[in-house]
Amino acid sequence: MPQDFAHRTRATAAGRPHESLKQLSILSSLWQVLVKLSMMKVVYLPIVVGTFAFFSMLVVSSIRVDASVQLTHEEWLQPEAHDLLKLENTVKKVLVRSGGSAISSLKNLGFSFSETMAMQAAAKKVHSLAHIQVGHAFTREDGDGVIDVYYELNAAQRLHLNHYKQAWHASLEQIAVSSRTVYVQAKIEDSLFLDASKAGLDDRTTMNLVDVFAWDIDFARDLRKGDQFQVLYEEDYNDKGKVIGSTIIAAEFVNQGRIYHAIRHQLSSGKEDYYALNGKSLRKAYLKSPVKYSRISSRFTSARKHPVLGYTRAHKGVDYAARSGTPIYALGDGRIAFAGWKGGYGRLIEIRHGNRDHRTRYGHMRKFARGIHKGVHVKQGQVIGYVGMSGLATGPHLHFEFRVRGRAVNPLRVKHAPAKPVPKAEMAAYLEHANMLQQTLDSETQKWGWG
Ligand SMILES: [Zn+2]
C-alpha cells in the first residue's frame, strides 16, 4: 500500500440548486412587490421596509440547519437529478435510461433527429448503437468547430464519434486506466452529500459509503449534524483524469457518538466483503430501510386518522415519503409471495424471507422492477419496484410492513441478525489486515484532525 495518499482538499461544491436559493428568490420577489406598493403611496415606505425586514428574518432563520432533523438531502439523490450531469460549460453527459435508446440519449444531448441518424450510420462500422446498455453514459464535448461524442462500452473501452468537415467519424478507443489510493474525512454540517462533496468525495464514493454502512446506519433517519466519517478508497481514473470507478478499502463512521468500522477483506475463497474490526460481517439479514435517501412521513401506530379514508385506524407499517420513481429495495433475501394489485395498497409486493416467519410488504408502487413476479427469488438490496401512489395514497410514498407469523410488527424495532463472520481459520490473517488499515486511518486522523 502506498504511503502517500491523495488528500482531497476542500473543493468548491458542485453547482447544484440549494434550498436557500429558492428562499432567496422568494425574498427578492417579495421585495419587488413591496417596492411597487410603496411607489403608489410613498408615505408607506417605513411600513414596507419594516415588513420586508420581518419576512427576511423569518426566511433567513429557516435556512439554517436544524440539528434535530435528519440531514439527508433528497433533492440530489433522485434518479432524474443524476440523469443529466452538466460537468462543465462545454461537456454534457446523459445516462441511458431504462427503455431509452441511443437516439433519445443523443437528442437529450441536443442533437436533431437527422444528426442522430448520421451518427448511428457512422457508428455502425465499429459498434452498432442498437446495442446500448441502461446506465451507460453518452458524453458530448463541444470544441472549436469540433464535436466529440463518447459512449462508454465498459470501463476500458469507449466509442468515439467525432464531427468535423460536416461529417461524423467513428472509432473505438481504449481508455487507459490507472488507480490511486485516496483518503477523505468530513464532518456533517448540512447534509451527507454536500459535506462529502465539499471534502472532495465524489457522489459515487459517497453512495458506496452509504451502501457499506446501510446495515447499521439508517441514512434516512439516523444522521445528525456533527456526525463524521473518514474513508480510504481506491479510485480508478482514465487517461483524461476522469474517475471511472471507486472501491472503499476502509472506513469509519461516527453516528450519534457511536463508531462503526468497515474493512474490505478478501477471503481465501476469493469472496470480498466488508467486516467490522472484530471480523463480524457488516451484512445483516435485513437492510435497515427499503428506500435510500427518503424520510419517514408516518410511523407504526396502533391508531391514527387515515389521510384518505378519514376515520381513525391503526397504521401497521412505516411510510417513507420519496419522489415518484425512487427505487425500492428488497429488505432481505427471499421469494416474492405476492406481486399485484391489492385494494388500498395499490401495487403491492410481499416477500417471504429466508426466515419463513418473516414477510415484508411494499405498497403504493408506481411499477414493479423488470422480472419481478410471484415465485421469483430476490436478493437483499435488489430493486423490486419504484415509489408511486397507487391505491389509497395522498402523495408518492412507500408503505412498508414487516410481518412476523402474519402479524404486522414495527419495522423500526425488528432485530437484525448478522450474516456470516470471517471464518475462524482465517481470523488471524483478517485481524492483521484490519489492524493495518485501522492504523492507517488513525494516523491520518492525527495528521489532519477532524474537520
Ligand atoms: Zn402507510
Ligand 1 centroid from CA 71, angstroms: 23
Nearest 5°: phi and psi at 61? Answer: -70, -25
Rounded distance from Cα 377 to ligand 1 centre (Å): 25
Distance of CA 258 to the CA centre of its chain: 23
Nearest to 284 by CA among 275, 295, 292: 275
- Asked which of 3-7, 18-22, 90-94, 142-146 is least confident by mean pLDDT, the reply is 18-22
In this predicted structure, what is the pLDDT of residue 90? 64
Cα 105 to averaged position of ligand 1 atoms, centre (Å)? 36
Ligand 1 centroid to residue 336 C-alpha, Å: 20
| Whole-angstrom distance, CA of residue 94 vs CA of residue 103 | 12
Ligand 1 centroid to Cα of residue 175, in Å, is 48
Distance 363 CA to ligand 1 centre (A): 8
Strands 137-142 and 312-315: unpaired
Q: Which pLDDT band, with edges at 50, 70 and 90, does 245 fall under?
A: confident
DSSP annotation string for 314-367:
EE-SEEEE--TT-EEE-SSSEEEEEEEE-GGG-EEEEEEESSTTEEEEEEEESE
Say whether pLDDT at 21 is over 80.
no
> Ligand 1 centroid to 413 CA: how many Å?
16
Cα 248 to ligand 1 centre (Å): 35
Residue 356 to residue 339: CA distance in whole angstroms: 18
Confidence of residue 64 (pLDDT cuts 50, 70, 90): very low
| 405 alpha carbon – ligand 1 mean position (Å) | 20
CA of residue 181 to ligand 1 center, whole Å: 44
Mean pLDDT of 272-294: 88
- 384-392: average pLDDT: 96
Quote the cell numbers at residue 401.
410492513
Q: How far is the CA of 316 from the centre of ligand 1 (A)?
A: 7
Cα of 400 to ligand 1 centre, how many Å? 7
From ligand 1's centre to the CA of 396, what distance in Å?
A: 11
Average pLDDT, the chain: 79
Residue, of 52 and 395, whose pLDDT is higher? 395
Q: Which three cell numbers stand for residue 292?
A: 435510500
Question: Ligand 1 center to residue 218 CA distance, Å?
Answer: 19
Ligand 1: centre distance to CA 323 (Å): 15
SS3 6: strand
Question: 223 C-alpha to center of ligand 1: Å?
Answer: 23
Whether the CB-CB separation of 265 and 273 falls below 8 Å is answered with yes
pLDDT above 90: percentage of residues in the chain: 43
Q: How far is the CA of 344 from the centre of ligand 1 (A)?
A: 10
Question: According to the model, what pLDDT value does residue 449 have?
Answer: 66
CA of 429 to the centre of ligand 1 (A): 47
Q: What's the 401 CA to ligand 1 centre distance in angstroms? A: 8
> Cell 376515520 maps to which residue?
311
Residue 134 pLDDT = 84
Q: How confident is the model at residue 25 (pLDDT cuts 50, 70, 90)?
A: low
More confident residue, 439 or 54: 439
How far, in Å, from the CA of 309 to the mean position of ligand 1?
12
Give the distance (Å) from ligand 1 centre to CA of residue 109. Answer: 39
Cell of 21: 436559493
Grid cell, residue 379, equals 436478493
Q: Compute the distance from residue 290 Cα to the ligand 1 centre, in Å.
A: 14
Ligand 1 centroid to residue 408 C-alpha, Å: 12
Residue 298 CA, ligand 1 centroid: distance in Å: 7
> How many angstroms is it from 364 CA to the middle of ligand 1?
9
Spell out which residues have Cβ within 5 A of ligand 1, the ion. 319, 399
Q: 391-446: per-residue pLDDT in tens?
A: 999 899 999 999 987 888 888 887 666 678 999 999 999 999 999 999 999 988 87
Question: 244 in helix, strand or coil?
Answer: strand
Residues 418, 424, 426, CA angle at the centre, nearest 5°? 105
Is-contact 363 348, C-beta < 8 A? yes
Three-state DSSP at 170 gives strand
Can you give the pLDDT at residue 63? Answer: 33
Distance in Å, CA 331 to ligand 1 centroid: 17
Q: Tell me, what's the pLDDT at 41?
A: 54
Mean pLDDT of 214-238: 86
Give per-residue pLDDT as tens, 333-365: 888 999 999 999 999 999 988 666 789 999 999
Q: String of b and e for 64-91 (b: at least 16 CB within 10 Å)?
A: eeeeeebbbbbebbeeeeeeeeeeeeee
Return the closest-CA partner of residue 185 out of 127, 121, 233.
233
d(CA 36, CA 30): 10
Task: Give the phi and the psi of residue 338 in degrees, each rounded to 5.
Answer: -155, 135
- Residue 413: the pLDDT is 81
Region of poorest pLDDT, from 10-14, 44-48, 268-272, 402-406: 10-14
Is the pLDDT at 83 greater than 50? The verdict is no
Burial class from Cβ neighbours inside 10 Å (0-12, 13-18, 19+) for residue 113 reads exposed
Quote the ligand 1 centre to 289 CA distance (angstroms): 14
User: What are the respective helix, strand and coil percentages of the chain, to the nearest 5?
Assistant: 25, 35, 40
Q: Which pLDDT value is given to residue 97? A: 82
Q: 189 is written with which cell numbers?
A: 454540517
Q: How far apart are the CA of 157 and the centre of ligand 1, in A?
A: 46
Cell numbers 408502487 label which residue?
365
pLDDT at 451: 47
Share of the chain above pLDDT 70, in %: 75
The span from the CA of 249 to the CA of 26, in Å, is 45
CB contact set of 19 (below 8 Å; sequence gap of 6+): 63, 75
